[in-house]
Amino acid sequence: MELLQEVRNRKQAEIEGRQLSLTDELTGLHNRRGFFLMAEQQLKIAHLTRVLCWVIFIDLDGLKQINDTLGHDIGDALIVDAAQLLKQSFRNSDIVARLGGDEFVVFISSYFKDADSIQACLQTNIANFNQQQNRNYELSMSMGIERYSPGSNMSLEQLIAKSDELMYAHKRLKQQSIA
């Protein structure tokens, strides 16, 4: 009986260890490793079933300034708020991950028509969050959105690199409009 309980305990510890290796500790989202593991599988399925997909690369705006002026605890709260907003903005079947620092990535299958509708959905959710929350910061995100077409044979790395490039263009555009 004790041996059976020991085996159960070890199996549970193994499951928990595997889960921790794929999860971001601060946000509870997938981490980089978890994202790549899950998204690679979804990309293969999308290719075989000829389904459109989207990769969104997101960077939080102003995290360094918040960390410098309000402290790292508030910066961590901003990261957690962003993670929750992203999780609520997409379906459970979509893959939402924190790559590290203030960078997030999302892999979604087919239900959006175009990148503008994805961005509009996120901007609406961000605006609602900022209106409803009583925080001493505003949540702001720069994002790049790249579409995967099954015939393109783009790799996940290429999709992320392209969406990252588009995110930086979005960030520059936002900074120019402030200046």
Which residue range is the domain that position 116 belongs to?
A: 29-178
Q: Is residue 19 part of a domain?
A: no
For the four alpha carbons of 14, 16, 22 and 26, in that order, the dihedral sign comes to negative
Q: Residue 67, class by beta-carbon neighbours within 10 Å (0-12 exposed, 13-18 middle, 19+ buried)?
A: middle
For residue range 70-89, what is the model confidence (pLDDT) as tens digits? Answer: 999 999 999 999 999 999 99
pLDDT, residue 51, reads 87
Q: What average pLDDT score do residues 104-130 get?
A: 89
Q: Is residue 23 part of a domain?
A: no
Q: What average pLDDT score do residues 126-147 get?
A: 92
Nearest CA to 42 out of 30, 28, 52 is that of: 52
Cα of first residue to Cα of last residue in the chain, in angstroms, is: 70
Q: Is residue 14 part of a domain?
A: no
Question: Model pTM?
Answer: 0.86
Enzyme catalytic residues:
102
Q: Is residue 24 part of a domain?
A: no
Q: Is residue 12 part of a domain?
A: no
pLDDT, residue 153, reads 81
Query: For residue 3, is pLDDT > 60?
Result: no
Number of domains observed in the structure of the chain: 1
Give the CATH number, domain containing residue 43. 3.30.70.270
Query: For residue 12, is pLDDT > 50?
Result: yes
- Answer with the residue of higher pLDDT: 152 or 80: 80
Average pLDDT, the chain: 88
Query: For residue 13, is pLDDT > 50?
Result: no
Q: What average pLDDT score do residues 41-54 get?
A: 90
Q: What average pLDDT score do residues 153-169 get?
A: 94
Q: Is residue 10 part of a domain?
A: no
- Answer with the residue of higher pLDDT: 159 or 11: 159
Angle at 81 between CA 35 and CA 113, to 5 degrees: 60
